[in-house]
Structures are given as structure tokens and as C-alpha cells.
């Protein structure tokens, strides 16, 4: 598809474009108090494709030099909404090479074409934007012709936790492995949380990465998984500024916080995923997090993200952590809307 600028052409990426996609990712670090490069080495196309049942990656090419200079993405996956299985489209990876960022007139056309490609397969679209990215937020929150409406539905917090801290003794025990009982437990409880993934077969997550939390009667009352995604998704700090310019040099682990990653090194992290408690019991929820942190020994930090309405939000707020804030949006075309009122949402940080 051609655009208003006849030198620009809209295409949809394939495996052949992996090397050029990687170049865009490598020049798209976010500048903030903690500047981070969200990398998908060695192959962004395969990395994005892993995370959904279908993935559409629109790309813009400059025909004068045959250069790929912008990209986006819509990852379609099955989730629970109102207790039923629906299709959600997560919009991600909107990136433009620096020399093209002052010429973004092509963006509405990309959104229009992306909707036409996906509208028959998606019930709800959503996305997140880093809170510090004020320029990006202002652009996307403003109404534009041929673009969807970004409806703010709440804050999303990512917590970085110190690993290997031994959990306090408790009546609760854990069992490792994805048993048939744990699968049944997940299906029954995940339906109560909107956007929970239906399929537990997440990329690079093995059966041995799952943990069931049992009460004194050996009944499953909670669960979590420890998900190592480093082979296809990396977080690389490129700079610290503000107060973090001084904090990252300190031995923060002594104070109960994770140590800050060194700049320009892949962070050795693990994602705490699929965290569920059957009971609205603060002691149980805090114990589930404590066991996940304990079992994460060997990683520099454990990462978990939750919405404001997530049942574990208050438990996580009690723990010492470094926090990263994002804004969560329902992206609305035509009748693709999401009413978050009174809804508990579970959006996995490992799928953002």
C-alpha cells in the first residue's frame, strides 16, 4: 500500500525483514531516569511471532533508498474476558528511526490498514505506554483522523524485586511442575481476571517452571510461574539519570532492593508470571510472592507487572522494589471497546 508520501510504502513484515527490524529496535531505546533498550535479539520477527496466535507487523519503507524506517505490531492472542474466551489484539513495537521522527504523517494510514487486516479476528485492542514517554502519550491520546481512540483505563506498575530472599515459614507448601490439577485450577481461577491468557503454553516456559501453592490439606490455593525470556527478549539499561545516577552505584541489595543492572549489559532477569490466589487472603498472596522471589535465586532481579485492579497489587506495594510506571489503554475502533469498570485485570508483563 502506498501512502501520502509517494516515497514511502506500507508493507507487512516477514522473516526476510528480521535483520532490518533488529536495526530499528537497536536504535529505539527509551530516554528517561532509567534509559532502557527493549531488545528482541537476535530476531525481532520471530520474537514477536512467539507471543501470539497471529502477529501482524506493519512496516514503512523509504523507496528512495529501500530502507525500512518504521514498524508497529498487533499480537493476537486468546484471553479471558468476562469469563469467556475472546481474542485480544495487543498493539506494540511502534518504532521509528531517529531521522524520520519529524515526519510521521504516515502513522494514521498505518493504523487504518492494520485495523482492516485484523478487525475480523479481534474483539478488543489494548496497549501500554511508558508513563515518562510524554511525547508519545500526547500524540496517541489526541484524536486523529483514521486512527483509533486511546481510552485510558488505568496505571500499570512493573516491580523489580530482589531475588533469593528466603520466605517465612508457613502452613503453605509448594509443588513444582504443571500437573493436570494445576491446569484445572488455573482455568477456574484465571476466568475471573480479564486478559489472563487462555493458553499456558507460553514461549520458552516449560512444565518445570510452574509452581502450585497448597494449603495444609494439600489443596491448591495459588500458583505462579518463573519465566526466563532472555533468549528472545532483553532489557538493557543504556543510562541512569536523576537520582538513579547515584543509586545504581550503591549496594542496594543490602537494603532489600535489587541491584541495578550495569549499563549496556543484558539484564539477568526472570519474569514472575501467572500469579493467582484462590482466596482473598493477604497472608496467602504475600506468601505466594515471597516463594516466587525465593525460587528466583540466581537471577539479578525478578520482574512482575500488575494493573491497579489486580488482586496482588496491595501485596506487591508492601514489598521493597524498584517500580516502573506505564499507562494502560483500550484502543478503540468502531465497536471494539472495553469497559473496565469493576473488572479485575491480569495483563502479563512478559507479554508486553
Give average pLDDT by consecutive 10-residue segment, the chain, 352 residues.
72 96 86 85 96 96 94 96 96 89 84 93 95 81 84 95 93 96 97 96 96 96 98 93 84 87 93 95 96 96 96 96 93 88 94 96
pLDDT digits (tens, 9 = 90+) for 107-123: 888 899 999 999 999 99
Q: Rounded distance, CA 100 to CA 171, Å?
A: 58
Question: Which pLDDT belongs to residue 121?
Answer: 95
Residue count (the chain): 352
Mean pLDDT of the chain: 92
Q: Spell out the SS3 assignment of the chain.
A: CECCCCCEEEEECCHHHHHHHHHHHHCCCECCCEEEEEECCCCHHHHHHHCCCEEECEEEEECCCCEEEEEEEEEEEEEEECCEEEEEEEEEEEEECHHHCCCCCCHHHHHHHHHHHHCCCCCEEEEEEECCCHHHHHHHHCCCCCCCEEEEEEEEEEEEECCCCCCCCCCCEEEECCCHHHHHHHHHHHCCCECCECCCCCCCCCHHHEEEEECCCCCEEEEEEEECCCCCCEEEEEEECCCHHHHCCCCHHHHCCCCCCCCCCECCEEEEEEEEECCCCHHHHHHHHHHHHHHCCCCCEEEEEEECCCCCHHHHHCCCCEEEEEEEEEEECCCCCCCCCCCCECCCHHHC
The answer, as to whether pTM is greater than 0.75, is yes
pLDDT digits (tens, 9 = 90+) for 249-278: 888 888 899 988 889 999 999 999 999 999
Sign of CA dihedral 239, 244, 249, 253: negative
Question: Which pLDDT belongs to residue 3?
Answer: 54
Q: Rounded distance, CA 206 to CA 58, Å?
A: 31
Question: Which pLDDT belongs to residue 267?
Answer: 94
Question: Which pLDDT belongs to residue 68?
Answer: 95
Share of the chain above pLDDT 70, in %: 98
Question: Which pLDDT belongs to residue 241?
Answer: 87
- Taken in order of first residue, the domains within the chain and their CATH numbers are 8-155 (3.40.630.30), 160-351 (3.40.630.30)
Taking the alpha carbons at both ends of the chain, their separation in whole angstroms is 28
Amino acid at each position: 500500500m502506498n501512502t501520502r508520501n509517494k516515497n514511502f510504502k506500507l508493507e507487512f513484515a516477514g522473516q526476510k525483514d528480521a535483520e532490518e527490524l533488529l536495526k530499528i529496535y537497536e536504535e529505539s531505546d527509551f530516554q528517561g531516569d532509567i534509559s532502557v533498550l527493549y531488545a528482541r535479539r537476535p530476531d525481532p520477527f520471530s520474537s514477536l511471532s512467539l507471543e501470539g496466535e497471529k502477529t501482524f507487523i506493519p512496516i514503512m519503507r523509504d523507496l528512495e533508498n529501500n530502507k525500512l524506517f518504521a514498524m508497529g505490531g498487533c499480537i493476537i492472542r486468546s484471553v479471558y474476558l468476562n469469563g469467556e474466551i475472546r481474542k485480544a489484539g495487543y498493539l506494540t513495537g511502534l518504532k521509528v528511526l531517529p531521522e524520520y521522527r519529524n515526519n510521521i504523517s504516515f502513522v494514521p494510514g498505518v493504523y487504518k490498514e492494520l485495523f482492516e487486516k485484523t478487525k475480523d479476528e479481534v474483539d478488543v485492542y489494548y496497549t501500554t505506554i511508558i508513563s515518562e514517554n510524554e511525547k508519545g502519550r500526547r500524540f496517541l491520546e489526541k484524536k486523529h483522523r483514521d486512527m483509533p481512540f486511546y481510552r485510558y483505563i488505568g496505571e500499570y506498575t512493573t516491580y523489580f524485586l530482589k531475588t533469593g530472599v528466603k520466605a517465612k515459614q508457613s502452613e503453605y507448601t509448594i509443588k513444582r511442575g504443571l500437573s493436570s490439577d494445576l491446569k484445572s485450577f488455573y482455568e477456574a481461577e484465571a476466568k475471573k481476571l480479564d486478559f489472563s491468557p487462555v493458553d499456558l503454553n507460553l514461549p520458552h516456559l516449560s512444565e518445570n517452571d510452574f509452581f502450585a501453592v497448597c494449603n495444609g490439606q494439600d489443596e491448591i490455593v495459588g500458583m505462579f510461574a518463573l519465566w526466563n525470556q532472555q533468549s528472545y527478549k532483553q532489557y538493557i539499561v543504556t543510562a541512569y539519570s536523576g537520582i538513579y545516577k547515584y543509586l545504581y552505584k550503591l549496594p542496594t541489595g543490602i537494603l532489600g532492593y535489587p541491584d541495578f543492572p550495569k549499563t549496556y549489559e543484558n539484564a539477568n532477569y526472570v519474569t514472575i508470571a501467572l500469579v493467582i490466589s484462590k482466596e482473598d487472603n493477604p497472608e496467602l498472596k504475600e506468601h505466594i510472592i515471597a516463594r516466587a522471589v525465593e525460587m528466583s535465586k540466581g537471577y539479578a532481579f525478578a520482574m512482575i507487572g500488575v494493573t491497579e485492579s489486580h488482586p496482588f497489587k496491595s501485596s506487591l506495594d508492601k514489598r521493597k522494589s524498584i517500580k516502573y510506571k506505564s499507562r494502560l489503554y483500550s484502543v478503540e475502533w468502531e465497536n471494539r471497546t472495553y469497559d473496565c469498570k469493576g473488572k479485575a485485570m491480569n495483563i502479563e508483563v512478559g507479554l508486553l
